[in-house]
């Protein structure tokens, strides 16, 4: 089944040779034909899906590839069908973006992250952005998304490694102290606190290491650092 395009986009591009938002007031720039527009749109790394009246009205090839859904199936999707594939913890936050009639304010990346179960049942991490569209007296919403699963997997692996490393340090029978190149404390093991008589909640971070040694040895520590 061929990809469907919004008649609004097609009409504007055929009439003026420009994208809708550029149609007014631009007279002498190179013409962007509908074929060129669609060529660019279908080769972008971002998935694009337009929902109108709660139904899919348009999607590009990247959207079909990222969702792992057959084009015939995706073209018949409603917003609620799409939402069912989103992790239950992310679903309400995702759907809330479709209640807006104005572009959403900029938020942190965590707010835009969702987990989506693709056509193969694999949970993927996406960054998503939703913006309203108006044409022909109707309101729609454009969903733009990209897959960040590889990034999230790497991030999670680093967190696991960091936690394992921290546990090794904390369970060591030796006093372990980690500082930056200026000698400011970054990490102190529990054993260090007990050996030197400090409470575990002592606010050590940022204090120079040489502040904990006797005056006659401070210069030696500074030189060593």
List per-residue pLDDT tens for the chain, 225 residues long.
444 444 444 443 333 333 444 444 444 555 556 666 666 666 788 999 999 989 999 999 999 999 999 999 999 999 999 999 999 999 999 999 998 766 656 555 556 899 999 999 999 999 999 999 886 778 899 999 999 999 998 988 888 888 888 888 888 888 888 888 888 998 888 888 888 888 888 888 888 888 888 888 888 877 877
Q: What is the CATH number of domain 7-149?
A: 3.30.450.20
pLDDT of res. 166: 82
- The pLDDT value given to residue 44: 81
CB burial of 113-144 (b: ≥16 within 10 Å; e: otherwise) equals: ebbbebeeeeebbbbbbbebbebeeeebbebb
Is 172-224 assigned to CATH 3.30.450.20? yes
What residue ranges of the chain are covered by domains with CATH 3.30.450.20?
7-149, 172-224
Q: Give the pLDDT of residue 41.
A: 67
Give the residue ranges of DSSP H helices in 48-97. 61-67, 71-74, 79-84, 88-96
What are the E-state strand segments in 111-220?
A: 113-117, 123-135, 138-147, 177-179, 185-188
Handedness of CA 133, 94, 60, 56 (dihedral sign): negative
DSSP percent split of the chain into helix, strand, coil, nearest 5 = 45, 20, 35
pLDDT number for residue 27: 47
pLDDT of residue 103: 63
pTM: 0.59
């Amino acid at each position: 089944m061929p990809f469907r395009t919004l008649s609004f986009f097609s009409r504007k591009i055929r009439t003026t040779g420009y994208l809708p938002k550029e149609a007014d007031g631009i007279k002498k720039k190179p013409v962007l034909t509908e074929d060129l527009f669609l060529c660019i749109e279908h080769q972008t790394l971002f998935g694009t899906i337009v929902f109108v009246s709660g139904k899919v009205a348009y999607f590009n090839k990247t959207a079909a590839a990222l969702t792992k859904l057959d084009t015939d199936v995706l073209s018949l999707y409603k917003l609620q069908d799409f939402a069912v594939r989103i992790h239950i913890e992310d679903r309400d936050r995702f759907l809330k973006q479709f209640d807006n009639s104005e572009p959403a304010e900029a938020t942190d990346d965590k707010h835009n992250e969702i987990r989506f179960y693709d056509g193969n049942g694999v949970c993927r991490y996406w960054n998503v952005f939703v913006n309203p569209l108006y044409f022909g007296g109707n309101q729609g919403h454009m969903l733009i998304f990209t897959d960040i699963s590889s990034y999230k997997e790497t991030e999670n692996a680093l967190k696991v490694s960091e936690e394992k490393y921290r546990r090794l340090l904390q369970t060591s029978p030796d006093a372990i102290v980690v500082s930056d190149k200026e000698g400011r404390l970054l990490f102190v093991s529990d054993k260090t606190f007990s050996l030197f008589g400090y409470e575990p909640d002592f606010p050590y971070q940022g204090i120079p290491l040489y502040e904990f040694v006797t005056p006659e040895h401070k210069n030696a520590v500074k030189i060593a650092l």
